[in-house]
Amino acid sequence: MRPDIVIVMTDQQRVGLTRRSGYPVDTMPFVDGLAGRGTDFRNAYTAAPACVPARTSLLTGRFPSAHQVRQNSNAQHARFAQDLVDVLRAADYQLHFAGKPHMHRDARDFDTYAGPYFHTQGPERNADENAFDNWLEHLDHGVSDEPTPYDVKNQLPYRITTDALQAVTEADPDQPALFWVSYPEPHNPYQVPQPYFDLVSPEDVPDRTTGPEATEVKGGSYAWLRKLQEEKRPGYDDKWRRYAANYLGMLNLLDDQIARLHEGLAQRTRPRLTIVLADHGDYVGEYGLQRKGAGLSEFLMRIPLIIAGDGVHPQQRDEPVSIVDVLPTICEAVGQPIPDGVQGRSLLPLTHGEEAPEEEFGSIIAEHGYGGRAYDVTARPPLHFGYDGPTFDELNTVTQSGAARMLRSGRWKLIVHADLPGELYDLAQDPAELNNLFDDDAHVAVRARLLHQLARWQARLTDDLPNGNYTPLRLPHNWRWAPQGEQA
């Protein structure tokens, strides 16, 4: 029997802030339990640290350089042969969506569609929800110093879960279904009601890895974003602990709603494959920054990725994997061929406890930048939200400029820019990526090895779309470098 597919997606969720990751605050006990019953990919990466490019990669199994969505404003330009919606339609799945879209698909593509929900608004059923959404709008993507003065039932995650549970109740029990539940949190604005507001006091928030002084070390877009942030929100760093405490409370609120969702899913008697992930991370005060925007630090690039359900082995996996691997994994789970142009690899064998060939799963890449030459730290180009007034967009003309490629392999991380100096970090010794070893004579061999790996990845990702007269040779699971691979 083909399984139901449940995708639980959060927005801007940073890895490492849960008890299963060793964090001292118990933010997500239900999700931690789900991870313990499933496969927890501890080194999962986004394809790009921005919402729409990352979500397009999830849907298409392709990196931004292939699907061509490199910023949040051009989802409609996504380039692919078949995406997740097409695959599941071909497999005769019901398609149900609730929450934040931020993608190239819309209500017409689903059997039920509850939304769109965004960070300050959603479909409103009563005066309290309307009042709450107006309050969110007034917060202007900032940090609330007080508990949210509205009941949890007005929060977007609660409303989205309610909508999703209605779809679960009304879905045909004899037909497999996709339930995609997309939460806008813990993305800014940073706010929660009681009791989540008091989950941890600001004074008890664990120390960050590094503070605002690090932006001078990082330079470039980090320093530029820090300057813009201080122009827009002076003195922000003085209350970073309140921001972090709110963020942790938002994780706890999400956890309760994910638990509520899964309780409702129990009425479905089909096998189920549940995938819990985020599109990208959040600084949560690192480098003195909030949200996202500059660079490819681990705080932004790593994402949670849990796959649980029938046939999945309880385990933790440390291989570097990507958000682009989700689509081919679902394809194999529902018995559909992996579409042409998909660049990700199926993780289904790994969820069954199989060995991951080092050649195939020894490294992963990611991308950043919409193109053009990177602006320098002195630049003042026009912005969508201007320099005057409190509203600012961290994903802007400067922070998203240029082009960069990142490679993670073991303890090492390489970043190559089109216009800027290269970067090489030993993450085991330097998790904040402050000691650039790219030009260090003692690491010439490491740099050469990683550059070679990155070059192979770039060759591997040569796009085979659009189809022509030739038939690309594909191996099982879309594993291209696995030595035991056989011709498909």
* Distance, CA of 316 to CA of 189 (rounded, Å): 32
What φ, ψ does residue 87 adopt, rounded to 5°?
-60, -50
Q: Which residues contact 391 (CB under 8 A, 6 or more apart)?
A: 140, 141, 232, 385
Could you list the mean pLDDT of each consecutive 10-residue stretch along the chain, which spans 488 residues?
98 98 98 99 99 98 98 95 99 98 95 93 92 95 97 98 98 98 98 98 98 95 95 91 99 99 97 99 97 98 98 98 99 98 98 96 98 93 85 91 98 98 98 98 99 98 94 94 58
pLDDT score for 13: 99
Examine residue 453 and state whether it is found in any structural domain, yes or no.
Answer: no
Q: In this structure, is residue 127 part of a structural domain?
A: yes
Q: Is residue 306 part of a domain?
A: yes
Is 97 part of any domain? yes
pLDDT for 174: 97
Q: Running DSSP on this structure, what letter comes out for residue 422?
A: -
25, part of any domain:
yes
Residue 269, domain extent: 4-361
Whether 384 is in a domain gets the answer no
What DSSP character marks residue 411?
Answer: T
- Half-sphere exposure (Cβ direction) of 69: Cα atoms closer than 13 Å: 29
pLDDT of residue 479: 97
Q: Taking the CB of residue 417, how many other CB atoms lie within 10 A of it?
A: 17
Identify the helix (H) or strand (E) that includes residue 86: helix 84-90
Model pLDDT, residue 487: 40
CB 39 within 8 A of CB 351: yes
Q: Hey, what are 456's tokens?
A: 């192979």
Rounded-to-integer distance, Cα 129 and Cα 117, Å: 12
**282 Cβ contact partners less than 8 Å away, ≥ 6 residues apart:** 12, 13, 14, 186, 187, 247, 290, 291, 292, 299, 300
Kindly report whether the peptide bond that precedes residue 421 is cis, defined as omega within 30 degrees of 0: no
How far is Cα of residue 283 from the mean position of the Cα atoms in its chain?
A: 13
Closest of 248, 253, 26 to residue 151, by C-alpha: 253
| Counted domains in the chain | 1
Helices marked H in 178-234 — which ranges?
A: 214-218, 220-232
CB 228 within 8 A of CB 393: no
User: Is residue 411 in a domain?
Assistant: no
- Model confidence, pTM: 0.97
| Cβ-contact 102, 185 below 8 angstroms | no
Q: Tell me the β-bridge partners of 223.
A: none
What pLDDT does residue 121 have? 87
For residue 94, the Cα-to-chain-centroid distance in whole angstroms is 25
What is the token pair recorded at 292? Answer: 């996202």
Q: What is the pLDDT of residues 70-84, one digit of tens each?
A: 999 999 999 999 999
- Residue 486: the pLDDT is 46
40: nearest Cα among 278, 303, 307, 300: 307
Q: Are 280 and 46 in contact (CB under 8 A)?
A: yes
**How far is Cα of residue 384 from the mean position of the Cα atoms in its chain?**
24
Burial of 81 (0-12, 13-18, 19+ CB in 10 A): middle
Q: What is the pLDDT of residue 488?
A: 40
- Which residue is it, tokens 């040779």? 473
Flag whether 466 is in a domain.
no
CA distance 283 to 399: 14
* CATH at residue 275: 3.40.720.10
- The length of the chain in residues reads 488
Q: Which amino acid is residue 9, in one-letter code?
A: M
